[in-house]
Structure 1
Amino acid sequence: MRFYTSGPHEGILRRIETERIAVKPLGAEIGRASAIKMMYASLNKGANALRAAAILAARQLNVSDELQEELAHSLPDVHKAMLARMPNIACDAARWTGEMREIASTYRDAGLTSGFHEGAEWIYEVLSNSPISEESRDEADAKKRSLDEVTEIYHRTLLDYLGRV
């Protein structure tokens, strides 16, 4: 695990360094460690939101099977990531809505569009209303739901959500 630090006292945290925890100082400028965290989360959790949006849109457009087949063929790593993360992504969705808001603000402050992560916030808001969101990751994983099964659950959640907004 890597633990990034920055600011005038960044060296103090070297005390927690072990074989399993690497402290990575980024200099005396305050905010650099936070910026790394925001950019990393923007890629990781943003990609998960994009995958969720794609499976929901494919379901809405009645091309779920075709999308999965194409991904398995031409983007197997993306397909594997969807198979691995979609069954439990709703378990973290509620807390990730706020994080997407923070990331959107960071992008805006950097002079870039905040729209992508505002959209990711919306996707996570929808998923946070899913019955899967009430489960822990371990509980969701133990149910061994297929991507088709979670797509249907998330699709019903989307339709309910759209009916309320």
Structure 2
Amino acid sequence: MEIAVIGAGAMGSAIARRLVENGARVVTYLEGRSPSTVERAKAVGMEPVGLDALAASPLILSIVPPAEAIAVAKQIAGELRRRGSKTTFMDCNAISPRTMAEVAAIFGSDCGVVLDGSIIGGPPKPGQKGPRLYVSGDATNNSGVLADHGLQVRRIDGAIGAASALKMCYAGINKGVTGLGTAMLLAAIRSGADAALKREMQESLPDLDAKLVHGIPDMYPKAYRWVAEMEEISDFLGEDDPAALIFKGMAGLYRKMAEDREGGGLLAGQLDKLNNDV
């Protein structure tokens, strides 16, 4: 079975490895990607091919940063129309139902089948089942081949948009908590209340404290990708929901943390020192 995976980042390459380990041939398109990305893709068994060969695959997974989802959809749909062929295209990105509808509209009815996918959990690791790949709009079980090749697939009721909505809600809670913790710990550091806040959290909110101790450092290298994800969550909630403003703020926070990482990690260092000293 040949499966195409667009995106050879941490998640895309790990998904590809799992598929390869379970007998699939995984192809990808690497034009314009960095040498490190090319090396990572080849290391997990992904086979670089041209765009025309990739479009010939019977199943294509898009696993890219959410800001790139529309561009990838246009690129693949354009190649399919040039070839006069069809495929099954699954968008697995952290995008809102409205953006997912845009992806589906790009493919129209002449390029094959479009599925709505969302990945919850970290990249696959040896000996672990996860992550979960939720799929909606899959009445004919086109995603079944992924379950046959080692992925944990959960089909959910609903048309295209349901899986994306699930991702928005889950990420809003999970990454929203990490962002909230980051913002308030930085505020405490600026105000000289950091040690006292940290001790209070350890005593009265130990589970939350433990989550932040792990989740905040894990966020640093991902913050740049989470900016667009927070913007998608804000769009999902809509202008009439006051909570949409929360996630616009979260996008700004993660943008600040991404810039901090590029600038030497001053804020990250302060957060790490607080977690290590108290």
Normalising by the residue count of structure 2, what TM-score does the alignment of the two structures yield?
Answer: 0.46
Structure 1: distance between partners of 2:190 and 2:263 = 21
Following superposition, the deviation at residue 112 of structure 1 comes to 5.4
Would the alpha carbon gap of residues 22 and 56 (structure 1) be closer, same or farther in structure 2, given more than 3 Å must change? same
* Aligned mates of 1:103, 1:114 — CA distance in 2: 7
Aligned equivalent of 1:126? 256
For 1:57, which of 162, 166, 187 is the aligned residue? 187
Are residues 1:90 and 2:220 paired?
yes
- Classify the secondary structure of the residue corresponding to 1:11: coil
The 8 Å contact of residues 52 and 86 in structure 1, kept in 2 or not, is answered as yes
| Secondary structure class of the residue paired with 2:154 | strand
**Structure 2 matches for 1:14-163, cutoff 5 A?**
14-18=144-148, 21-108=151-238, 111=241, 113-131=243-261, 147-149=271-273
- Percent identity (aligned): 29
What is the distance in 2 between the residues matched to 1:87 and 1:150?
12
- Show the counterpart of 1:162: none
Give the 3 Å change call, closer, same or farther, for CA 14–67 of structure 1 in structure 2: same
Letter in 1 for 2:273: E
Unmatched runs of 5 consecutive residues or more in structure 1: 152-165
Look at both structures and tell me which one has the larger radius of gyration over its CA atoms: 2
Aligned length: 143
- The answer as to whether partners of 2:224 and 2:254 remain within 8 angstroms in 1 is yes
Partners of 2:224 and 2:238 in 1: CA distance: 22
Task: Give, in angstroms, the shift of residue 134 of structure 1.
Answer: 7.5
Specify which structure has the higher proportion of helix.
1
TM-score scaled by structure 1?
0.74
Contact 1:90/1:132 (CA < 8 Å) preserved in 2?
no
CA contact (8 A) 1:83 1:146 kept: no
- Confirm or deny: 8 A CA contact 2:138 2:155 kept in the other structure: no
Greater share of strand = 2
The alignment yields a C-alpha RMSD, in angstroms, of 2.8
Unaligned runs of 5+ in 2: 1-130
Letter in 2 for 1:58: A
Query: For 1:114, what is the secondary structure of its paired residue?
Result: helix
State the distance in 1 between where 2:261 and 2:176 align.
Answer: 22
SS in 2 for 1:5: strand
Matched residue, 1:158: none
Aligned equivalents of 2:223, 2:138: Cα separation in 1: 34
Q: 1:17 to 1:106 in 2, by over 3 A?
A: same
| Rounded Cα–Cα distance in structure 1 between residues aligned with 2:264 and 2:249 | 22
